[in-house]
Amino acid sequence: MHLLCKFTNANVKIELAPLPVADHWMSNLDLSLNWLAPSFIWGPSKVNPNEFQKDHARVQLIETIRDFNRSFPDIKFPFSIDLDNITFTNKDLNTIHRYFTTATSHRSWEFNSEAYDLANPSLWYAKLAPINDAVHNLQAFYNTPEKDITQDVNVISIVADNPIEYMHPIGDWKYLDYELEYDVFIQHVICGRDTFQAYIDGDNCKHADVMPQWNSLYNSFYIDVNGERNKHMRSSDFRKWLDSGRKLNTAWQYIPLGKVVSGHINVKTIGNFIGLELV
């Protein structure tokens, strides 16, 4: 069986992996849903040079943290944003993101701290989420050596409205694609930093929140265009980075869905997304 991704100027044909994890995902596929126009991630990791947009993103991050602090005046976000004209280094952004992921997973600012007793946990998560978005938006304006060498990477994310998160049985982790044989993956859910994203953002691999897949999403998957991300994840630079964090032998990979068998993908000319079809 194949999954066909139809675009106005080309079709991308995916041969499904002969694995139980792919079979399970496919058994929950609903082609009748509203499938959204694909988003392209990592490809736009070429640093945005627009200083006006960068300053707007900087102000947005400050305001999201201040909004959080107004809601939780006794448990303020631990990164100080007292000055309106504060500027952020790339290291600052990685630190802020780390506070966000720890607060999301542990309800505290440090992994080894006791969780806060929150009167309104839902508000806690609702106010944290914009901080995460703002950090990622601002970090797009910061260059790293890793971004310089991964500008050929494009990942096409294809997702339906309101995809459903699910948890894998423990045994599913043996299907993680350590050998990088596949280029289509089930969309992963993490409570931390995606390993490749952390790598290109110049983050420290030693941190506990640099992690692999946590759960997955039905009706959501992504394509590593022409296997370029896999190429960089095979590189000695990436492997050394994993090894520096003692994660080379841990579950740093992703759950595969299949392989593109329709040939080269040109993201500049592929056109608009039309829909999915089983063939």
pTM to 2 decimal places:
0.84
Classify 103 as helix, strand or coil: helix
For position 41, what pLDDT does the model report?
65
Instruction: Give the mean model confidence (pLDDT) for residues 6-33.
Output: 96
Q: Where in the chain are the domains?
A: 2-45+151-278, 51-142
Q: How confident is the model at residue 105 (pLDDT cuts 50, 70, 90)?
A: confident
242 to each of 22, 34, 139, 224, 238, how far by Cα in Å? Answer: 27, 38, 21, 20, 6
Report pLDDT digits (tens) over 199-219.
999 999 988 788 765 789 999
Mean pLDDT for the chain?
A: 90
